[in-house]
Amino acid sequence: MADNIRFTLNDELVEIVGVPAMTTLLDWLREHRGLRGTKEGCAEGDCGACTVVLERQGRRDAINSCIVLLGQIDGQSVRTVEGLRGAEGGPHPVQTAMAEADATQCGFCTPGFVMSALAYASSGGTSDPDAIHDALAGNLCRCTGYRPIVEAMTRIAGLAVEPPPAPSPVSPRTASIAFDSAFFAPRSLDELLALRADHPEALLLAGATDLGLLASRARTPPKAVIQLTHVPELTAISSTADKITIGAAATYAAAAPILIEAFPGLRAYLSRLGSSQIRNMGTIGGNVGTASPIGDMPPVLLALEASVTLVSQRGMRELLLDEFFLDYRKTALAPDEIIQSLSMPRLWEGETFHCDKVSKRRDQDISTVAGAYRVRIRNGKIADARLAFGGMAATPRRARAAEAALLKDGFAAAARAIAMDFKPVDDWRGSAAYRLQVAANLLRRLELRLADPRRVLEVEAL
């Protein structure tokens, strides 16, 4: 069994020998390969200084190299800032635009911005300011200011800055592989389940946007991982007239189009979940798997009445997500089980779905409170409602007292009932009183939205 990591770096085939697969891509680029154009700022996926581009399936996706493990790169094509070439050896059009717009000062953040700009412009990015702001939300600059950077992005938007990526010359693996006898990369569900049973100590690894921090910020990489992203059943996305099913290891970027088409209320919310770098790697299964009380997807999935399919060598079972979260970071997942997929029923006639994220910063921030609401209206009255919140308790959960009060006595009663549903904690993101007030206000916003969507859109645009 071959056990060297192979990938393409700036069009050159690379085979890594003797470097642990748990090394971050950033450390390997800088310390082993001597490519220091890619910078380390925060080492936790926040600043974007380490942004590189993955060239895959005809697309260019920006990712944070500080939280990606080398084993995840096997078989992929990576481009760093050193791999940009302009005509006749001159600067690349993105670099020219940055220079001409005076979009750089100390230059520390610049390679990261250049790589995000490359991914944006070469994936059909337009000059729409909101789209540019979204594409840059994962990159921080502390000295230039963002106006000239946005100006540079505007100049290159719509230009064919780079031909579509060539297919990777690395032949895809057909069999499971293990790097360092610790980084397992199964290719089929059967192999995955056998590995899960044989290696209970190994952590399940999807996008690594949570787990990668062990290797980067904490410098204590996991001892063993089982990678989920090569197993077709875990990355499949499907839909029928009744429901949407998202493989647990499908990235947010891959799942977003179908989710937004089915639940348009998710569009703005998803654009605030991490950054494009995070959404290009992170998965919904990982968000549910961490069982964080402030993960953004659980309230959405709870409100949508999602179910979770769990699989092990013992068989398959389906649970309503309501039954999955047991206590703080405790779930119903058995040690030998894996989340295979999440399914949610489509909206029926008369149903509408909305959600809100309240955080200290608009972009790249974890929620203080998140709310999601699926509401059925019949004959001008609310006939059914599922209201779910994150950041209000040890687990994401439904607000059942508020749901009952809403059906019986309306929104004002529902807002008052929030205090019966939740006893939130005080922490640096917000006090318990603040959280209760925010959740109650979100229900008031929902009332306004349902009465006159335009009025709330104006408020949201502020």
Which residues in this chain contact ligand FAD in the complex, by CB under 6 A?
44-46, 67, 203-211, 228, 248-249, 273-274, 278, 281-283, 285-287, 289-290, 295-296, 333, 338-339, 364, 366
| 343 belongs to the binding site for ligand FES (CB under 6 A) | no
Question: What stretch of H or E contains 316?
Answer: strand 315-320
Out of ligand FAD, ligand FES, none, what residue 141 binds, judged by CB under 5 to 8 A for its kind, is ligand FES
| 66 belongs to the binding site for ligand FES (CB under 6 A) | yes
CB of 255 to ligand FES, least distance (A): 22
- Single residue of 21, 22, 29, 47 touching ligand FES by CB under 6 A: 47
| 215 belongs to the binding site for ligand FES (CB under 6 A) | no
- Single residue of 35, 62, 141, 370 touching ligand FES by CB under 6 A: 141
Instruction: Tell the residue number behind the tokens 């996926």, with chain if given.
Output: 45
CB of 420 to ligand FAD, least distance (A): 26
Q: How far apart are the first and last CA of the chain?
A: 57
| 48 belongs to the binding site for ligand FES (CB under 6 A) | yes
Per-residue DSSP letters for 280-337?
HH-BHHHHHHHT-TT-SHHHHHHHTT-EEEEEETTEEEEEEGGGTEEETTEES--TT-
| 50 belongs to the binding site for ligand FES (CB under 6 A) | yes
Q: Using alpha carbons only, how large is the chain's radius of gyration in Å?
A: 23
CB of 242 to ligand FAD, least distance (A): 23
CB of 83 to ligand FES, least distance (A): 18
With CA atoms as reference, report the closest residue to 373 among 339, 330, 419, 418.
418
| 43 belongs to the binding site for ligand FES (CB under 6 A) | yes
In the bound state with ligand FAD, the residue whose beta carbon lies nearer, of 213 and 262, is: 213
Quote the tokens at residue 191: 């192999």
Distance CA 452, CA 215 (A): 48
CB of 366 to ligand FES, least distance (A): 15
Among all residues, whose Cβ is closest to ligand FAD? 286
Question: What stretch of H or E contains 419?
Answer: helix 411-421
Distance CA 298, CA 63 (A): 24
How many CA atoms, within 13 angstroms, populate the side-chain half-sphere of residue 307?
11
In the bound state with ligand FES, the residue whose beta carbon lies nearer, of 180 and 363, is: 363
Instruction: Tell the residue number behind the tokens 């069982």, with chain if given.
Output: 291
| Residues 251-270 contacting ligand FES, CB under 6 A | none
With CA atoms as reference, report the closest residue to 122 among 94, 83, 91, 150.
94
Q: Which stretch binds ligand FES (CB under 6 A): 136-144, 179-187, 293-301, 383-391?
A: 136-144
Distance CA 387, CA 429 (A): 22
Q: In what order do the strands lie in the sheet with 51-56?
A: 12-16, 5-9, 77-79, 51-56, 59-64
In the bound state with ligand FAD, the residue whose beta carbon lies nearer, of 110 and 292, is: 292
CB of 46 to ligand FAD, least distance (A): 5
| 64 belongs to the binding site for ligand FES (CB under 6 A) | yes
- Single residue of 9, 25, 49, 202 touching ligand FES by CB under 6 A: 49
In the bound state with ligand FES, the residue whose beta carbon lies nearer, of 40 and 447, is: 40
In the bound state with ligand FES, the residue whose beta carbon lies nearer, of 105 and 239, is: 105
How many CA atoms, within 13 angstroms, populate the side-chain half-sphere of residue 356?
21
Out of ligand FES, ligand FAD, none, what residue 339 binds, judged by CB under 5 to 8 A for its kind, is ligand FAD
Out of ligand FAD, ligand FES, none, what residue 273 binds, judged by CB under 5 to 8 A for its kind, is ligand FAD
Distance CA 290, CA 293 (A): 9
In the bound state with ligand FAD, the residue whose beta carbon lies nearer, of 274 and 371, is: 274
Residues 6+ apart with CB under 8 A from 84: 91, 92, 94, 95, 114, 118
Distance CA 399, CA 390 (A): 10
352 neighbors 265 (Cβ within 8 angstroms): yes
| 105 belongs to the binding site for ligand FES (CB under 6 A) | yes
CA quadruple 155, 42, 274, 130: dihedral, nearest 10: -20
CB of 128 to ligand FES, least distance (A): 23
Q: Output phi, psi for 85, to 5 deg.
A: -135, 135
| 106 belongs to the binding site for ligand FES (CB under 6 A) | yes
Quote the tokens at residue 299: 């309230």
In the bound state with ligand FES, the residue whose beta carbon lies nearer, of 104 and 176, is: 104
Q: How many residues bind ligand FES (CB under 6 A)?
A: 23
Distance CA 395, CA 226 (A): 26
| 137 belongs to the binding site for ligand FES (CB under 6 A) | no
Out of ligand FES, ligand FAD, none, what residue 168 binds, judged by CB under 5 to 8 A for its kind, is none
C-alpha distances out from residue 248 to 19, 232, 252, Å: 29, 11, 10
Q: Which residues of this chain interact with ligand FES, rule CB under 6 A?
A: 40-43, 45-50, 64, 66, 104-110, 141-144
